[in-house]
Amino acid sequence: MVAVFLSLILLQLMPSLIRGGISGVRSHIARVAIAGVPPERWGMAVLRMYEALSGIVLVVCILFLAQRYLGRKLGSGSGTADRTVR
């Protein structure tokens, strides 16, 4: 589910990436972050948006690595039981 959430975020950023490159993505993130925020708090809103996106990417990477680790560990455990029976 976290990967689907990250995919939706990246899908939302694709038009900005195609039109303006990395600077287009940065301006889109800034526009989304300051929507409905008073002007004196815009800097903090953009900073928190980057922190939130970085946290989401970090969690996705950790979950992906944990999934691979557990898959290999559980897969190798069931594979040795089959080999010992033969």
Query: What is the reported pLDDT for 82?
Result: 53
Note whether 31 and 49 are within 8 A (CB): no
Query: What is the reported pLDDT for 81?
Result: 53
- Report yes or no on 85 lying in a domain: no
pLDDT one-digit tens code per residue, 62-81? 999 999 999 999 988 765 55
Range of the domain at 59: 2-80
Query: What is the reported pLDDT for 3?
Result: 77
Mean pLDDT, the chain, as a whole number? 88
- Report yes or no on 62 lying in a domain: yes
Query: What confidence tier does 5 reach under pLDDT thresholds 50, 70, 90?
Result: confident
Q: How many domains does the chain have?
A: 1
Q: Compute the average pLDDT of residues 3-25.
A: 91
- Report yes or no on 65 lying in a domain: yes
- Report yes or no on 86 lying in a domain: no
Model confidence pTM above 0.85: no
Q: Exposure of 33 by Cβ count < 10 A (0-12 exposed, 13-18 middle, 19+ buried)?
A: buried
